[in-house]
Homo-oligomer: A and B are copies of this chain.
Amino acid sequence: MNTKILLDENEIPKKWYNIQADLKTPLDPPMHPQTKKPVGPVDLEPIFPKELIRQEMCQDRYIDIPEEVRDIYTLWRPSPLFRAHRLEKILKTPAKIYYKYEGVSPPGSHKPNTAIAQAYYNMKEGIERIATETGAGQWGSSLAFATQLFGMECKVYMVRGSYDQKPYRKMMMQTWGATCVPSPSPDTNSGRAILAKDPDTPGSLGIAISEAVEDAATHDNTNYSLGSVLNHVCLHQTIIGQEAQKQLDMVDETADIVIASAGGGSNLAGLCFPFVKDKIDGKNPDVEIIGVEPAACPSMTRGMYAYDFGDVAGLTPLLKMFTLGHDFIPPSIHAGGLRYHGMAPLVSRLHADQLIDSTSVYQNEVFDAAVMFARAEGIIPAPESAHAIRVAIDKALECKKTGEAKTIIFNNSGHGHFDLSSYEGYFAGSLVDYEYPAELIAESLKKLPAIS
């Protein structure tokens, strides 16, 4: 039996799946940060192209993927679905473990699925330059890759702490023609103000967002772009789950358990939304869908479902989502991509409706799983992706106890080539298992903005 289940390029889905069409309860609207009234399309036009704003609010079940976008997807898509034969053997489990591998994209993760789409729509509407922020660098390098393919400029504000620690990510963006600066930078008013107060600050995602938004608002033909959380980002990622379903069909499998790590939520949305559809439709009503969060930043598992700001400074629209509070500062763990205080509104709605479960795990057990996986299957996963691997292994071990041959699928959302120093820290025993104290979460939740 094959290790990889491959689809031909003409089987790349022609439409993204928009789960807004199938929600039991519609999404609560985003609210203006000052007026606290619903935000309309016009409010978003200064920084987003019209088509992405349309997709953000669209209720159609399927949205066509433009030919030019599918054409670029062929550079790495369809991504392979692997059967983890060797891992199953080591675990001595009757479970069948499958994983979708998004690390085959040139930037090495699932992020370009939306970066390509976003760059395309911006280009079509005459935008020549995009500004964005990046933490660990996955998103920034994906947008650099995407804008290069459409002949656009790209400016990335990278949190200074990561910029200094992960120099390869910056060089990758440079190779694809983007400009990457450490944030706070002297290039924006907000950056200059922070540097004046604290020249040695390591920066934060909140600061970098402020700089990128200011950049987009103050430069001609420049828009802003976000790599997770928003509805249109989740939408673009559904190509992962749609492909995975076709691949499972090819080997006559039906998923019993679907697992993905969850930071801002787009990776989880990408693999899981098509399976949530099957759960809603009754096609596969008993499928268990699990988002895996770090114990250090468990927004779904321990947060509150409420309106909150997307950023630390409180400049973005208010979104109804599971949140730990917008001024919650997660401890510094090695899965930088999962350190976000909130969860995508769509994922949050489905979690509130009990269609998606969540759980949280500690980083040492995550790296235990990552190393076991790398030694069995070869691929060294990103620490973010290894959160899903941890739970997939745990579920397979439960099957060993019960004797059930369940079909487990998870998203191996990226490789860990730029995260090897985290592995070194793990082997050296220097990783701390943070659990955020309940009273601090309660404290931070007290500061949620009031919405009438």
Residues of A within 8 A of B (CB): 2-4, 6, 8-10, 74-76, 86, 104-106, 108, 145, 148-149, 167-168, 171-172, 174-177, 371, 374-375, 377-380, 417-418, 420-421, 423-424, 427
18 A-B contact pairs sorted by A residue (CB < 8 Å): A2-B9, A2-B10, A3-B9, A3-B75, A6-B6, A86-B149, A106-B374, A108-B417, A145-B378, A168-B417, A168-B420, A168-B421, A171-B421, A174-B423, A174-B427, A175-B375, A175-B380, A176-B374
Residues of B near A86 (CB, < 8 A) are 149
A375 touches B417 (CB 8 A): no
User: Nearest B residue to A168 by beta-carbon distance?
Assistant: B420
A177 touches B427 (CB 8 A): no
Given A4-B9, A9-B4, A380-B106, residue A175 in contact with residue B418 (CB < 8 A): no
B74 touches A3 (CB 8 A): yes
Residues of B near A172 (CB, < 8 A) are 380, 420
**Min distance, Cβ A341 to any Cβ of chain B, angstroms:** 30
Residues of B near A10 (CB, < 8 A) are 2
Interface-central residue, A74, A148, A371, by most chain B CB under 10 Å: A74
Residues of B near A8 (CB, < 8 A) are 2, 6
**Min distance, Cβ A23 to any Cβ of chain B, angstroms:** 35
**Min distance, Cβ A179 to any Cβ of chain B, angstroms:** 12
B76 touches A378 (CB 8 A): yes
- A36→B421 CA distance, assembly (Å): 48
A424 touches B171 (CB 8 A): yes
Residues of B near A174 (CB, < 8 A) are 423-424, 427
- A371→B377 CA distance, assembly (Å): 31
Q: Which of B104, B177, B378 contacts A375 (CB 8 A)?
A: B177
- A47→B172 CA distance, assembly (Å): 41
- A420→B145 CA distance, assembly (Å): 15
**Min distance, Cβ A170 to any Cβ of chain B, angstroms:** 8
**Min distance, Cβ A37 to any Cβ of chain B, angstroms:** 43
Residues of B near A423 (CB, < 8 A) are 171, 174-175
**Min distance, Cβ A378 to any Cβ of chain B, angstroms:** 4
Given A168-B417, A417-B168, A423-B174, residue A4 in contact with residue B74 (CB < 8 A): yes
Residues of B near A75 (CB, < 8 A) are 3, 377-378
Given A175-B423, A380-B175, A427-B174, residue A375 in contact with residue B106 (CB < 8 A): no
A176 touches B4 (CB 8 A): no
User: Nearest B residue to A112 by beta-carbon distance?
Assistant: B378
- A219→B171 CA distance, assembly (Å): 42
A175 touches B420 (CB 8 A): yes
- A138→B129 CA distance, assembly (Å): 37
**Min distance, Cβ A198 to any Cβ of chain B, angstroms:** 28
User: Nearest B residue to A3 by beta-carbon distance?
Assistant: B74
A148 touches B375 (CB 8 A): yes
- A379→B145 CA distance, assembly (Å): 10
- A176→B420 CA distance, assembly (Å): 12
User: Nearest B residue to A105 by beta-carbon distance?
Assistant: B378
